[in-house]
Structures are given as C-alpha cells and as structure tokens.
Amino acid sequence: MLLQGNRSIRASALLLACLLALLAACATPTTEPGRKTLADTDVAPGEVAIDEAAVAILRSAAEQIRNAPVFAVAAETGFDVVQSTGQKIEFGGRFVATIQRPDRARMTNQRRDGVRMEFVCDGNDMWMYSPDHDVYGRQPQPGDIDACFNCLIDELGVSTPLSTLFSSEFGASLDDGLVSCYLVGEALIDGRLCYHIAARNDYADYQVWVEKGDVPLLRRIVISYREEPGHPQYWAQFREWDFAVKPAPGTFIFQPPAGAERIRLAHVNDGEE
C-alpha cells in the first residue's frame, strides 16, 4: 500500500490558520492569571465559555514572541495523514529558526526521512536551498518577515510550519473565534512545569502548554481537526527558545555551494484540489 503523505502542505496550512486564529482571539484585554481551575468542558451549541485566566496566559505567550526583536527556536513537529483505510500515519520533522526583525530570517526544516530545506531572508533577497538536490532559488525580498512568509505560502505554495509564530501580528488581531478556552491544570513538558490550556473554535480543538514563571514560553501545541476525515492531529514541541541570541555575522547570508544549480522559484502544487 502506498502511504498517502502529500497532504503535509494542507496540514501545515491548517496549522498556520488555526493557531493564528486561536491566539488572535485571545488578544483582548484580560485580568491577570489566577489560581488554576478545571472548567466544565461541556459547552452547549452557541454558548461561549471563556476562562479569562487561561486567555491571559495565552496572550502573555504570544506577546513574548511578538515583541522579541531577535530570537531562536527549535521544535519537533508531527502530523497525521489519514489513509484510505482510515488508519492514521504520522509524519514529522525538526524545525530550527533564527529571526531578527524586521527583515532577517534563517530556517531549516528537516523531515524524518532526512530530506532538508533551508530558507534565508538577508534583507534584500529570499533564498531557498535543497541540499538533497543541490539546487537553490533566489528572488527579491518582498519586504519584512511577514511579507516573505506570505510570499512563500501564497505565491510559491511552500509549506512553512509554524511561520505564523514569526508574524509581527501574532496574537494581535481582534478576531474572536473561540467557543471555549480554559485552564486544565499543570503538567511537566520536557521537565518544565507548564500551564495546560484547552481551547476550541468551530473547526478545531487545541491544547497548549505554556511554561510557568517570569517568561511565559510556548512549550507544546496539539491541534485536532474535527472537520477533517479521521480527525487528524498536528503537534509541535518547542525544545529550545533563546531570546538573548546574538546571531553570528553570517547567519543571514546565503552563499550557494560550489556546483549547486540555480533554478527558478515556482509555485509548488501538492497534487490536491
């Protein structure tokens, strides 16, 4: 049986839209987090059940990322692909990025099968490089980091998991799409004590773990797509955050390797309508 793995781009796109909507909906003024509570998870149709303490925690985590002028992050990711038999097969990889606002970025995304892709914004040009095929593409940078990732997704059709986290608008929208949001309790993620928050909108369920303490770091997310056949999940576990990173001078410079072939960047079609 041929495993169906070509929905990765769609899964990533759903992640970007859903996660942004989740934290965007949490950007309204709230009170400070209080004691942990276990909210009633049974929400009647049309009813909105929002725990303001949970919302405040999400807002703080979003602000920590959005307001950082420079940072580095490394994450492990995974997503389900539902087969024609109904069985779920998980794919995933490792994602590493260094961001320097407003217009510098370097990312490496390596799938579990070893396939790797590199992406660099140097302030003037966008570069993409595939070490496995020894080819690279270059085109003028359309603007700041937001514009670069919008170009990747909308114009080139490139899957960029978690790029929503780098947006200057992350968590700042006034859009309100939440049906429920509450604090489940506390849990250890990679040995760090975290708030465990559950939320829901009209098309997905979310679980978010935010580290307790003076710096509210996003440590894990799980998104379940209720409207997709088989209810597939997407998850990301953030192993490393560095908000004091000092990028080396060559971090945002791409030098094509000797012998690498330059190709024209074109829209990628994942084969599905």
The tokens for 42 are: 């049974």
Both tokens of residue 267? Answer: 């829209």
Q: Phi first, then psi: give them for residue 142, nearest 5 degrees.
A: -75, -5
CATH class of 8-262: mainly beta
Position 176 scores a pLDDT of: 61
Structure tokens at 20: 């942004």
Using an 8 Å Cβ cutoff, are 189 and 220 in contact? yes
Q: Mean pLDDT by 10-residue block, N- to C-terminus, for the chain (273 residues)?
A: 41 39 37 40 61 92 94 96 95 96 96 95 96 95 93 82 80 66 96 96 92 96 93 95 96 96 75 39
Q: Do residues 223 and 235 touch, judged by C-beta distance below 8 A?
A: yes
Query: What does the domain layout of the chain look like in residue ranges?
Result: 8-262
* pLDDT, tens digit (0-9, with 9 covering 90-100), for 179-217: 899 999 999 999 999 999 999 988 899 999 999 999 999
Question: 9 with 153: CB under 8 angstroms?
Answer: no
Query: Are the beta carbons of 137 and 127 closer than 8 angstroms?
Result: yes
pLDDT at position 46 is 52
What is the per-residue pLDDT for 157?
82
